[in-house]
Structure 1
Amino acid sequence: MLAKSYPYYLANKAVYANEDLDVTNKYTQEVATKVALADARVIDQAIAAAEKAQPALNKMAPYQRQKILEHCVEGFKKRFDELAYSLCIEAGKPIKDARGEVTRLIDTFKIAAEESVRINGEVMNLEITERAKGYTGMYKHVPIGPCSFISPFNFPLNLAAHKVAPAIAAGCAFVLKPASRTPIGALIIGEILAETDLPEGAFSILPCSRDGADLFTTDDRFKLLSFTGSPDVGWQLKAKAGKKPVILELGGNAACIVDADTDLEDAITRIIFGAYYQSGQSCISVQRVLVHQSLYDEFKQQYVAKVKALVHGDPLDENTFIGPMISEGEAKRLKGWIDNAVAAGANMLCGGNLDGAMLEATVLENVPRECEVNADEAFGPVSVISAFDDFDDALARVNDSQFGLQAGVFTRDIYKAHKAWDELEVGGVVIGDVPSWRVDNMPYGGVKESGLGREGIRYAIADMTEIKLMILRTPQ
């Protein structure tokens, strides 16, 4: 069960300041709990506390940071069922998917604990010319300083974890703004962090309205901004962020190629998972499927039949695969995109029905290139299928997108696999599986409108640290 109300965390401490934020059950649309909402004054206090805590964090030994991360791992394990239940309620995530996300939360903090004692430097040979004779260089990685984190609604635990865990490993103070629709998981993380020996002010977790959150972007006391969310918002924040580095993990309309030599049954199983997992509300959800002409008719028949068979309903039901979208507004938006595509000549092979926030799993074909459901990020339970004859043409069609996060390629031809890796304009190419696949230690991020920088613990730590060089002269 959820608590009746939740605090925000200001400078490591729980503060029950108010109950101004209603968090709804996304399936029933009823208020499930209430959360304290921070204002600009509180955010300013959090930033000041982070700045004050940073010198103490700089002095923490790697084993001390590792101990904090290991405490979190054990805390998450003890509260596994509570965390999964909270995801079902606040995010509408089917219970099996919710358990999967809690498992990934634990994995992410485990990886961070391991990496926290591997933040190494290097001894450099500087004697590259006669004038540098007797000089040696060595460098180490030091914390960049207080970080600003803004996380999205669709993975309330693990996408927050991909900011929080590397920050702790690197020794950076931080202030996190979780999504207002799904703040509970982040606040439970805060509750467990509050049990540790982190210096006072090392973290704050502050649900807040967008109007009051400008300091997360503009305040120069922050030395890095990491944002995960929509492209429109992300690029606006970057333009306002000033001199600080900005990491953006934004949207996508991920494509998957199914070549002629593919095991069709395996590909269909994986693509259905990739397209409709947690109602398609993932930036690497399979949205566009390009199938070789020789397989297309058989693929379409099997794929549509299996999509029709997906179970829709209550996220707490063990049999549910498709739960509600995050809001009725988002469901209506995507329903409108589907209707626009049909009006423009697309064939709706199944789905398309809307009931509140529940949008039926939908498959479209022959969607015109310019339609939103093909060109933009659907972020819901819909996929667009089409046929191709030439592999090079399929690669070009994948690249014909403003986005470039990940792509999937089902092929057994090693030369085609390498060609896809070389030519696809994306941050990651997944061979033999869907673009929706991610493990938490890999470099993850995109190009074009899909963002800047890479997540994945080791790569995030690199962004959250700076190189400090020492040069040693030996008199000759």
Structure 2
Amino acid sequence: MNAEAAERKYGADEGVLTRRKWIEVRDPQDDSLIRRVPAAGSHEMHQAIEEASQGVRTAEEIPVHQRITILNRAADDVCSRSETFAATIAREGSKTIREARKEVARCVETLRLSAEEARRLQGETIPFDQSPGGEGRLGYYYRFPVGLIGAITPFNDPLNLVAHKVGPALASGNSIILKPSSLTPLSALMLKESLAEAGLPEGLYTVVTGYGGEVGDVLVQHPSVRMLSFTGGVKAGEAITRKAGLKKISMELGSNSPVMVLQDADVEEAVESTASGAFWAAGQNCLGVQRAYIEAPVYEEFVHHFLRHTMAYRVGNKLDEKTDMGPLITEGEAIRVESWVQEALDRGARLLCGGKRDGAFYAPTVLIDVPPDCRIAREEVFGPVVSLYRVENMDDAVREANRYDYGLQAGVFTRDLEKAFEVIRRLEAGGVMVNDSSDFRIDAMPFGGVKSSGLGREGVRFAIREMTETKVVCFRLKHS
């Protein structure tokens, strides 16, 4: 199926161009129109689910070696078109071209990992005679696909987050329907082209473009959808859990990630890593550093170098190789971030640099003395703003890091191994990065959070576990 046919399949009727039948995908940098995609409605989503349900049996019956081949071929295709993919990511979203290239490389890695893990979908034998009455029995367990998976992805990683749902789903023998962000649907459609070119049968990966309020509820509530994989905000995640009914749910719901800098840390290393973690993709990163707790003896030194590093950031044209940071995804998001910063300032916070908006652009911003009950402290800002805090000791840093109802990942900088292990044990988070920013991640590791940061784990191997069920088989043998 070519791109135009893929766009038409679950959208408006031909020639009907009015009243939200089409979505205009615009570049947030200058609001220029990139492309239109269909704004599907509930009828189109029902149709997509019906067709994908029929593809469940096809997905199950594809032999493992063929799944491996398809995923590797798709990875090859993405790699061969890496510059086209990168330009699409950069234009439809917020990433600079250099950031976009890294996302494409990660997508290729995610698809290849999915191919590798397809061959490792194994069970094991069970010694039933370990329990009295289990004598004379022989058996095992194995994993089988859940069936039809519904996936909803956000705008900030429009290709690799899609791959993290589609790759494991296909590797484990499922079919999947994806509802990408209406702001950044083009990368998901391009990945569909790559998988089709690689030989994936029709109906195993379906992309439905539309607005969440019109198609999302159908996907979430439909009984044929046996699992939901969602990446997004806490409120949307809570709404999904109320509507989904009895089906598997995997969610990554973001964070306001903390980093701790202890007095024995390499301050220059901590500054460079923390700044990158705070301002990558204009701060629109679920793992991005939002709060930094610095022990008093190195606080002034850290702040001095952090400001120097931040003010050197080059903000501008996303496609310019020299640009470090582009715009936020919409001007409305930039206005929201601006209002959160202003609220903190009105309540006593101090602005050290940044705090300026130009359309959808918002300058890298550093705050100190932020009251703990401000929105920018307790919620996920999802913008290029970091708050620096002086703490007296490690205990204070851990307590403050755990203050809020998030727990995705955290970072700690220290040369002391005992302190590192103590912080690891006490931090309420799904991941702790030692001498690294909270935003470090590879695509093979388990990824997810505690508290309001989500349910379950992604990372290819771990997503496959979520996307399969366990079946036990037991033979009662006749004795001679």
Alignment of 1:5-404 (within 5 A): 7-8=6-7, 20-213=22-215, 214-404=217-407
Counterpart AA for 2:465: A
Three-state SS of the structure 1 residue aligned to 2:212 is: coil
Deviations 1:209-238 (CA, angstroms, capped at 9, x unpaired): 122211110001000001100111111011
Three-state SS of the structure 1 residue aligned to 2:72 is: helix
Say if 2:3 and 2:193, in contact at 8 Å, map to a contact too: no
Q: Distance in 1 between matches of 2:378 and 2:180?
A: 28
Range with greater deviation from structure 2 (376-385 or 49-58): 49-58
Three-state SS of the structure 1 residue aligned to 2:164 is: helix
Shift of 1:337: 0.6
Range with greater deviation from structure 2 (32-41 or 211-220): 32-41
Shift of 1:17: 8.2
Quick one: percent identity of the two aligned structures? Answer: 38
Counterpart AA for 2:126: M
Shift of 1:278: 0.8
Counterpart AA for 1:309: A
1:436 corresponds in structure 2 to 439
Three-state SS of the structure 2 residue aligned to 1:212 is: helix
Does residue 422 (structure 1) correspond to residue 432 (structure 2)? The answer is: no
Q: Distance in 2 between matches of 1:429 and 1:285?
A: 13
Shift of 1:283: 0.8
Q: Distance in 2 between matches of 1:211 and 1:130?
A: 55
Three-state SS of the structure 2 residue aligned to 1:139 is: strand
Counterpart AA for 2:341: I
Shift of 1:307: 0.5
Q: Distance in 2 between matches of 1:462 and 1:397?
A: 34
Q: Distance in 2 between matches of 1:431 and 1:315?
A: 31
Counterpart AA for 1:191: E
Range with greater deviation from structure 2 (211-220 or 452-461): 211-220
Q: Distance in 2 between matches of 1:17 and 1:444?
A: 44
Counterpart AA for 1:135: R
Shift of 1:37: 2.4
Q: Distance in 1 between matches of 2:245 and 2:44?
A: 22
Shift of 1:51: 1.1
Say if 1:86 and 1:184, in contact at 8 Å, map to a contact too: yes
Counterpart AA for 1:218: Q
Deviations 1:364-412 (CA, angstroms, capped at 9, x unpaired): 0010000111111010000000111211121111000111100001111
> Number of matched residues?
472
Say if 1:10 and 1:205, in contact at 8 Å, map to a contact too: no
RMSD, aligned CA:
1.7
Q: Distance in 2 between matches of 1:396 and 1:5?
A: 53
Q: Distance in 2 between matches of 1:361 and 1:200?
A: 44
Counterpart AA for 1:155: D
Shift of 1:9: 7.5
Say if 1:225 and 1:245, in contact at 8 Å, map to a contact too: yes
Q: Distance in 2 between matches of 1:296 and 1:341?
A: 21
Three-state SS of the structure 1 residue aligned to 2:250 is: strand
TM-score by length of 2: 0.96
Shift of 1:452: 0.4
Q: Distance in 2 between matches of 1:196 and 1:36?
A: 25
Three-state SS of the structure 2 residue aligned to 1:268 is: helix
1:450 corresponds in structure 2 to 453
Evaluate the alpha carbon distance shift between residue 346 and residue 258 of structure 1 in structure 2; reply closer, same or farther with a 3 A threshold.
same
2:471 corresponds in structure 1 to 468
Deviations 1:239-274 (CA, angstroms, capped at 9, x unpaired): 100001111101200000001111111111111100
Three-state SS of the structure 1 residue aligned to 2:425 is: helix
Q: Distance in 1 between matches of 2:109 and 2:471?
A: 30
Shift of 1:137: 2.1
Shift of 1:5: 6.6
5+ unaligned residues in a row in structure 2: which ranges? none
Q: Distance in 2 between matches of 1:71 and 1:17?
A: 36
Three-state SS of the structure 1 residue aligned to 2:130 is: coil
Evaluate the alpha carbon distance shift between residue 139 and residue 119 of structure 1 in structure 2; reply closer, same or farther with a 3 A threshold.
same
Evaluate the alpha carbon distance shift between residue 125 and residue 66 of structure 1 in structure 2; reply closer, same or farther with a 3 A threshold.
same
Shift of 1:6: 7.9
TM-score by length of 1: 0.96
Q: Distance in 2 between matches of 1:235 and 1:467?
A: 27
